[in-house]
Amino acid sequence: MNRREAIASMAILAGGMWLMKSCSSDTKSASIILENYKMTKDLEDVLSQITKTILPLEGHEPDEIKNLHLFVMKMLDDCHRKEEQLIFTEGLVELEKGEWNKRAKPFTIASQQERTEMIALLNDMEDNKIKKCYEIIKRRTIQGYNNSAYLMKEKGTYELVPGRYNGYTNV
C-alpha cells in the first residue's frame, strides 16, 4: 500500500467515525448541548408545555419565540448554581406528576384550560421546590421574549442606540 492510499483510507475512516458519532444521538437527552446541567427529553417536553402556557402564542410567531424553552434551558445551564439546578429538576419532576394539584393530573396530559388553572395555582402557591422551579421558568421565559428580535422589530419600535436627533430639545 502506498502512502497516498493510506492517507486516503485514514481520511475516509476518520470521516466515517465522525459521521457515526454524530448520527448516533441519545434519544433521551435534551435537544441542545448543555455543559453544566443534564436534562432529559421528557423534562424538556414538560418545560416546553409550561413556557407555552405562560406565554400563549398566536401561531404565526417565528421559531425563536416558539422555542423559548431552549432559552430557559441554556440560561439555567449558564447562569444558575448547581443547587438551583437540582431544585429546578426536582420541582419540574414534581410539577409533571401533578400530585401537588388538587386534581392530581400530570401537566403534559392536561388540557389548555387546566394548564392555565395550574399556572394560576402556581402563582399563589407557598414557597417550595415547585414554586422556585416555576419562578425560574417564568422569569427566563419573560426575559427571552423581551430580548427577542421578534418583539423588538415586529411588535415594538426598535431603534439603534443613539436614537433620533432632536435639535429642539433643551439640555
Per-residue pLDDT of the chain (171 residues; tens, 9 = 90+): 688 888 888 888 888 777 766 565 556 666 777 788 888 888 889 898 889 888 887 777 777 778 888 899 999 989 999 999 999 999 889 888 877 777 767 888 888 888 888 888 888 888 788 899 999 999 999 999 888 888 777 777 766 777 777 788 777
pTM: 0.73
Spell out a b/e string for 115-141, using b for 16 or more CB atoms within 10 Å of the CB, else e.
beebbeebeeeeeebbbebbebbbebb
Where along the chain do its domains lie? 27-155
No. of H helices and E strands in the chain? 8, 0
Angle between helices 68-79 and 82-97 (to 10 degrees): 140
- Across 12-171, where does the E strand assignment appear? none
